[in-house]
Structure 1
Amino acid sequence: MVDDLSNVFKSLKDMQRRIRRLESTLMLQNAAISEGGLRVISSDPGLVVEGLLQVTGIELIDGQLKITGTLSTTGDTDIGGDVTISGDTDVTGKLNVTGDTTLGGDTEITGDVSLKSDLDVASGGKITVGDMTFEIDGGVGKITMGGASIYVASGVVQIIPATGPGLSLGGAQGARLFPLDTTDAATHPANVWMNPTGQMYRTV
């Protein structure tokens, strides 16, 4: 547009200078948008940042955020939705979990574990400590190690070694040993009497 009709040539030269400046100027370099916004609708390649992208306010992402490199966060991170991690996860700091936790795979703990509440093991599960196992067998508590077993059920405790007689304590039969070898009463006078079921009595 020619502003000064008294000197058309000067106005044309000034217009030419302005057009050249627009052609050679980097439009978005050091640009600021105070109102409205900048919209990039192209998907090939879209918005490409080869240097540093610094956001001092809030960045809202309504679609997907895909990161193929390293993601580093130094501040607090709040995630309100579901998170799926298909790769390995290393936690070098303290991990606090206050909600319910479900572990479907094998879990290995190499450090010390402090249990400050109850540990519930469902029926069919067991706890193994070295060669010793703790489990429920047919509704009866069972501890097994080296062929020996201890059973606990309904106020009765049975100790069954790998070899030799077992010991039963509690219940209607009191204390009894099973099975026991016999000996000659004439050689060893009896001071304990046992009925055929293994219940023992002290003779007086």
Structure 2
Amino acid sequence: MKTNRISTRIIVASALCATVAAFMACTSKPKSNDIIAKKPVKTAPKPTQNMGDYNQNRSVEWLGGTYSISIERKADSSLPLAVDESGNKYYDNRVTLTISRSDGSEFFKRTFAKANFEEYVGDEYKNGGMLGIVFDHVDGDNIYFAASVGSPDKMSDNYVPLVLKISRVGGVTISTDTKLDTTSNDDDDEV
């Protein structure tokens, strides 16, 4: 009988272990309230970029003669960097404006940078760049150009429109373009 009891105990113990194992397998693990978020991947900052160089050449009739206008924009690494809305850095530009007479002699030549327009730009674009100068029109004794300072990002349209007026004697007047047609004469300041 002793062997019978041992066998019964072994069978009961085995059944009990099987029941406990089955019970443990059927129960689900409690859900955790822990939220695991992935770390944001930091993108490497872009290297300092150029806004892009350009040249514009054209002839205009002014003061009874034909004048050639040449505008050249080039990045200048010696200037403080311009920064766009995303924090990307750009080399700022210098723009050289040359007006030549029909005989080839220079009437006017000057290189402009953002510093020439700072008082018209304000704090919003103090880290912006010199975007460019383009010929607009001739009116009497003056030649008008549109100038702009703003975000160096080519996809952005954030900038301050300015009027650059050159007189028949080579005087330069800069003003904020309040009419967006570059013919405003209000608030002109001699430079």
Query: Shorter-normalised TM-score: what interval?
Result: under 0.3
Structure with more of its chain in strand, by fraction: 2
Higher helix share: 2
Per chain length, whose mean CA-contact separation is higher, i.e. which structure has more relative contact order (CA < 8 Å, sep 6+)? 2
Structure (1 or 2) with the larger CA radius of gyration: 1
